[in-house]
Structure 1
Amino acid sequence: MVDGSRDVDVEKLISFSKDLVQFLKDDKDVGFLKQCLEQSNAVQLQCLSEYQTLRSSIQDYEAKINMCNQRIAEAQSEAAGDAEIDTLQKEREQKLQIEQLLREELRVITDEIDDLDHQRASIEEQMQSLEKLERDQLRADRNSVHLDPS
């Protein structure tokens, strides 16, 4: 049986070979195969062309994306700079407010010092007046003691 199945396989192979030779001898079939090959080559060239176009487009888009990323980084840097400027301006405003409060406090203290100076001057004048009155009183008492021999 093994030998019989082997014969069948060889017979099938011979039959297939004859069909193939017959197929290749037929001009119609060869023409059809040539046409298919030409169409295949045309499709391959078209695909290659589209591939190159798409690759170029992808590179252009990647360049645009990189440029956008740079702009984003610059904008973020500027935003950080703006935020820092805002912070510094707020600090400056706070310091100006503190300075204004200190100036007001200094003005109040200066006014108090001026008032105290006026009070001191007034007290000194009163003391001088009292001293003068005491001296005048002493003179008057001395004069009355000298005038009154009793």
Structure 2
Amino acid sequence: MFVTACSSATRAGNSGQLTGASAPKLAAEQFLRAVKANDLQAMSTVWGTQNGPARETMERTSMEKREIILVCYLTHDTSRVVAEAQGSEGRRDIRVELKRGNLTRQTTFYTIRGPRDRWYVENVDIAAVRDFCGNPGTSAGR
């Protein structure tokens, strides 16, 4: 199962805030910090497509619903990047280990270069962390 950032039309940002990250690994790390803080606004600055951040390319209600789903699946106690690899069409795949309670899982963050050479989390393999959602981390790990 994947949740992706969708883009139908790019709207120019008027906040002047620099979005995205300077490197693929940093995009995944910033996204995870925002998830841990339950900060939907921060998530929307580093989640996006080649057209830019989700907050500028998605309808707000739809974006926030997707972010809430992502928070459910990606809430964690600790995280660490375990690998980075070349993905398809210039993307970078960031393999991340997440721990929640006694559960430990690895998932992949798919990053893409956007405007101004900034990197965005375009997609996340949430199937790998499906048991994090609604689970306080008390079940036995695999």
TM-score surpassing 0.5? no
Instruction: Give the number of the structure with larger relative contact order, counting CA–CA contacts within 8 Å between residues 6 or more apart.
Output: 2
Structure with max Cα Rg: 1
Structure whose residues are more often strand by fraction: 2
Shorter-normalised TM-score: what interval?
under 0.3
